[in-house]
Amino acid sequence: MSAALIAQVAIGGLLMGLVYALVAAGLSLIFGLMDVVNFAHGELLMLAMYATFVIHENSGLDPLLQLPLVAVILFALGVAIYRGLISRALDVRFNTGMVQIFVTFGLSIFLVGAAQLTFGSDFRSINDGFLSNRTASIGSVVLPLSQLAAGLVCLIAFAALVLMSRTEFGRALEATREDRDAVALIGIDRQRVFSIGWGIGAATVGIAGVMLANFYYISPTVGSNFALIAYVTVALGGFGSLLGALVAGLVVGLAEALTALVIDPSLKQIGIFAIYVLVLMVRPRGLFGRL
């Protein structure tokens, strides 16, 4: 096993880790804001990938150029999910925690079914985008351009998310997270903050979905795998922590790539899970989690 190969695999893993980090950031944002775990998070990713595919097929618009469009579509979808389902689940008077879990679970099953009905179970992929089949080489490390771009775009989106948390709205988010009842007294509309929070959470997944569609297969169940990794990433980094999501995403991406290289590709997720279980036992609130 040469050093070049290890470097190649490690950089590939870190780039994928940036995608995982962005997916996890959306999940973490929603959880931090209102204590709701979105079990349909992977299905939002799946929808973003299909949206990219369909727009590309019908208009020939390159996935890269679709970024703002799909992000807006997903934002609207996130707001709609909050308004239609989540706000109701939050108002329920019995078993609130359980209702939230099963409402988003039900939604994820519904969305998988809807995708299956619309697109069938076949795997799709985009092969003729601007980024397809191009590579970039750094020294002896050769990387597909699509993965490099995915890592970069996700990093930029991540930076935007951090900048947003410094704005007026970001402070409103933080205030609502601290005390969702008290914020009404200082003129913050809780419903509005929650819906926009869902919109942003979904839009970040949308961006990750567009970039993934450049090099990853698309199928109705593609989301479950990414969602699983997102849960591990968020639990690893600490729920509600953006920095935690970034660090954990990189760790997970690296662990996955190295496990695939050293042990076996079909066991690549075992490396992730092993780290998760270890953190679970040593530091249950995650690396950067607040108590």
Interface with another protein (CB under 8 A): 31, 35, 37, 85, 88-89, 92-99, 101-103, 105-118, 120-121, 220, 224, 228, 231-232, 234-235, 239, 264, 266-267, 269-270, 273, 276-277, 280-281, 284
Q: Which is nearer to another protein, 184 or 267 (CB)?
A: 267
Q: Which is nearer to another protein, 13 or 220 (CB)?
A: 220
Shortest Å distance, C-beta 248 to another protein: 13
The one-letter amino acid at 1? M
Report the alpha-carbon distance of residue 40 to residue 105 in Å, rounded.
6
Shortest Å distance, C-beta 197 to another protein: 16
The 10 Å Cβ neighbour count of residue 255 is 23
Q: Which is nearer to another protein, 117 or 186 (CB)?
A: 117
CA distances to 66, 98, 100, 193, 225 from 103, in Å: 30, 9, 5, 21, 20
Shortest Å distance, C-beta 212 to another protein: 20
Q: Which is nearer to another protein, 136 or 277 (CB)?
A: 277
Q: Which is nearer to another protein, 155 or 285 (CB)?
A: 285
CA distances to 102, 163, 199, 243 from 196, in Å: 22, 16, 5, 21
Q: Which is nearer to another protein, 169 or 273 (CB)?
A: 273
Shortest Å distance, C-beta 256 to another protein: 12
Q: Please give the structure tokens belonging to residue 41.
A: 């998070």
For residue 104, how many C-alpha atoms fall within 13 Å in the half-sphere facing its CB?
A: 25
Q: Which is nearer to another protein, 115 or 245 (CB)?
A: 115
CA dihedral 45, 51, 57, 61 (to 10 degrees): -100
Q: Please give the structure tokens belonging to residue 94.
A: 């019995």
Shortest Å distance, C-beta 213 to another protein: 20
Q: Which is nearer to another protein, 51 or 236 (CB)?
A: 236
- Give the chain's end-to-end CA distance (angstroms, integer): 42
Collect all residues with Cβ–Cβ distance below 8 Å to 272 and sequence separation of at least 6: 229, 232, 252, 255, 256, 259
Inter-helix orientation angle 145-164/242-262, to 10°: 160
The one-letter amino acid at 206? G
Shortest Å distance, C-beta 96 to another protein: 8
Shortest Å distance, C-beta 83 to another protein: 13
Shortest Å distance, C-beta 56 to another protein: 22
Closest CA relative to residue 8, chosen from 147, 140, 149, 152:
140
Question: In the block, which residue shows the tokens 């209702």?
Answer: 99
